[in-house]
Structure 1
Amino acid sequence: MTSWFTGFLPYGWAWFIATIIDILVIALPLMLAVAMIIYADRKIWAAMALRRGPNVVGPFGLMQSFADGLKVFLQETIIPSSANKGLFLLAPIITFTVALIVWAVVPFQAGVALSNINVGLLYVLAASSLGVYGVILAGWSSNSKYPFYSAIRAAAQMVSYEVSIGFVLISVVLWSGTFNLGGIVEGQKAYYGFLNGHGFNPLLFPMWVVFLISSMAETQRAPFDLAEAESELVAGYQTEYSSMAFALFWLGEYANVILMCTLNATLFWGGYLPPIDWAPLYMVPGIIWLFAKILFFFFVFSWVRATVPRYRYDQLMRLGWKIFLPLSLFFVFLVSGFLMWTRVGVPA
């Protein structure tokens, strides 16, 4: 696209306009996807509980998310008198922005990414870890004990499970030999000769299970939604928020959920590749395969939320530090040892 604009604009302006268009091509559909994924989430919960879910606003209730968005947009933004106004308003902006910037390196098809950088996986880790600042600032700036307590709890939870996620990703990088997300996807082609995806790898399948559960905890989805335990924290670090400030937390949460579903598909289940390495399946655009896998993993997220009871906080910490951390560290040694044996060899 940049080359097309250079036909009548200087290169700097051509690159700038092309980049802005690429960002909008990703961000605008993502916002629509967030709205529809909230609708899907509510319909799945309703089906699990033998209810109908949203079915009044628009055909089949499809406009319910937009009606909810209009409602919060028209509400008054109330800022507590004792709150730190600047940080109070900055917190939801950080949460929402961080949820969007990670999509810059996600490969939607072979060679189709906003920024196909060689350290894409490191960028994902660095950018996603910034989300904890929005949570901490929201709780602290509210100047209320319940939001602050919830923010500390949420920060501890996010940091705890990011450690396990980091070791899981080390295993994937060791096996793929690259930090580039496109390269990781291409490295999953024709595994065992006919299957696409690291999920079929006996050494990496347990790591996918750890990553899936950790991604639920990282996004604070049930049964790990301890940051919003109604019986003790009212509504967590979002208690004092209203109107669009509250909606930004809401949108950021679901954007992070979609991102984690995308990473599950990209890192372990072939991303934009079809599940089987069979030529006719490659006629389907890669973005269709990627979206199908994202929707499947989102269904799993909703399924778990609707059926599994909430963990206690000590159970949450024990799972992260005493089970997932040693397990993921063990598999780093196991995968690296296996690769040294098979790819490098052992001297006689």
Structure 2
Amino acid sequence: MPEVLITIIKIVAIVFVFVMGLASLMTLLGDRKQSAKIQNRVGPMQAQFFGQSLFGLPHFLADGIKMILKENTIPDGANKFLHTLAPSLVFVPALLGWAAVPFMDHYCAGEIEVLANYQEVCHGEWKNYFQIMDFNAGLLYAFAIAGISVYGAAIAGWASNNKFSLLGGLRSSAQMISYEVSMGLSLAGILMIYGTLDLNQMVIQQGQMLGGWLPLWGIVVQPVAFFLFFLAGMAETKRAPFDLPEGESEIVAGYITEYSSMKFGAMQLAEYAATVFIAALIAVMFLGGWQVPFLYADGFYFGGIADPSLHIPVPYWLVIILRILAMCLKVIVLVWLQFMMRWTLPRFRYDQVMVLGWKILLPLSLANLLITALIVAIF
């Protein structure tokens, strides 16, 4: 199969089916049904197909139709070019970052062997079928792309010619810059331990077992970094309790106040896609990514590689399916957790957001980096 066609299939499957599909469903499952369950409500059930509510699914479709049919407006005095460009600067980076996220290891076109050190060796050719692009510096790429979205929010706030939008854009810029520092420092320990910026190689190294039973996932070797990155990642998505850039109780809708129709829809969808993207990065760096405990290319080793008596053979094609499902499940659970925090925690004040970023997360990330460096240097 031509490489171009393979790449197109990967983009469609990962970006348009998984990411966009999950991000779209989050408008129903996260913002409506999950919040309803937490608040002891039923949630949307009125729209029906042939007398069936289908768990509120018609509301999800009605939202999309309504968004498309709404009038696209641009305020008087706004910069029309930048006002139109800003949603693209928010939406496109939320999708481009997925080029570096691996959903499974490279496919072995030949015989594959598992060595005593848990390394999988392919007696043939490795083919990159489950990652859009094979980056040696995938983590650096992901951070660089994610940082572009702050320009979209700032431009949207300024170009709208609205004081509430401008305040939202300023809040977004300050918040994202503040928490990106903690995000980067929290991952420095992971980089020292795994010694690579390649996300797929990080996942491969997390397949090691300590004592034959404990997976060396990132959350095991860097538990403090996991919580720091999770909190900073939530702040980067601008979702509650970190939704100060939108803050409807003070500044209407922040930097998206003057947007309507699909421009508004694109910016909202970008926030959901960013939530899924942060979940994917956490899964890859801290939860083993596509790794399934005790599962390797030729089956399960419940007693470790050294004990073949507890080896359960599994066909390679089934191993691939199980690993892809494991990665998707981890992402979905992390998305669910982010929405649980959204609907159970009150919104911070703006000064509290800045204090948390600069006076709590930043010192903790520096301390974690120092302790990790000392441990790595000693051992």
Do the two structures share a fold, i.e. TM-score over 0.5? yes
* Match runs of 1:333-344 below 5 Å: 333-342=370-379
* AA at the equivalent of 1:62: L
Is the contact made by 2:10 and 2:131 (CA closer than 8 Å) also made in structure 1?
Answer: no
Which residue does the alignment assign to 1:305?
342
CA distance in structure 2 between the aligned counterparts of 1:211 and 1:157, rounded to whole angstroms: 15
2:322 to 285, 307, 326: 285
Is the contact made by 1:189 and 1:195 (CA closer than 8 Å) also made in structure 2?
Answer: no
- Which protein has the bigger strand share? 2
**Cα offset, 1:260, TM superposition:** 0.6
* Match runs of 1:134-173 below 5 Å: 134-173=152-191
* AA at the equivalent of 1:84: N
1:327 to 364, 370, 374: 364
* Match runs of 1:180-329 below 5 Å: 180-192=198-210, 193-196=212-215, 197-201=217-221, 204-276=222-294, 278-279=300-301, 283=319, 285-329=322-366
**Cα offset, 1:134, TM superposition:** 0.6
Unaligned runs of 5+ residues in structure 2 are 107-129, 302-311
2:106 counterpart of 1:118: no
Unaligned runs of 5+ residues in structure 1 are 6-14, 343-348
**Cα offset, 1:276, TM superposition:** 5.0
Which residue does the alignment assign to 2:9?
21
CA distance in structure 2 between the aligned counterparts of 1:55 and 1:175, rounded to whole angstroms: 49
SS of 2:375 mapped into structure 1:
helix
CA distance in structure 2 between the aligned counterparts of 1:64 and 1:268, rounded to whole angstroms: 35
Residue 123 to residue 19, structure 1, CA distance change in 2 (3 Å): same
Residue 225 to residue 276, structure 1, CA distance change in 2 (3 Å): farther
CA distance in structure 1 between the aligned counterparts of 2:104 and 2:7, rounded to whole angstroms: 18
- Which protein has the bigger helix share? 1
**Cα offset, 1:169, TM superposition:** 1.5
Is the contact made by 1:46 and 1:53 (CA closer than 8 Å) also made in structure 2?
Answer: yes
Residue 276 to residue 299, structure 1, CA distance change in 2 (3 Å): farther
SS of 1:155 mapped into structure 2:
helix
Percent identity over the alignment is 39
Which residue does the alignment assign to 2:68?
73
2:43 to 29, 40, 53: 53
2:26 counterpart of 1:37: yes
Deviation string 1:97-125 (CA, Å, 9 cap, x unpaired) is: 00000000100001220111110000011
Is the contact made by 1:195 and 1:276 (CA closer than 8 Å) also made in structure 2?
Answer: no
* AA at the equivalent of 2:80: K
Which residue does the alignment assign to 1:10?
none
CA distance in structure 2 between the aligned counterparts of 1:326 and 1:341, rounded to whole angstroms: 23
Give the number of aligned pairs. 328
**Cα offset, 1:135, TM superposition:** 0.2
SS of 1:311 mapped into structure 2:
coil
TM-score (norm 2): 0.83
CA distance in structure 1 between the aligned counterparts of 2:5 and 2:77, rounded to whole angstroms: 43
> What's the Cα RMSD here?
1.6
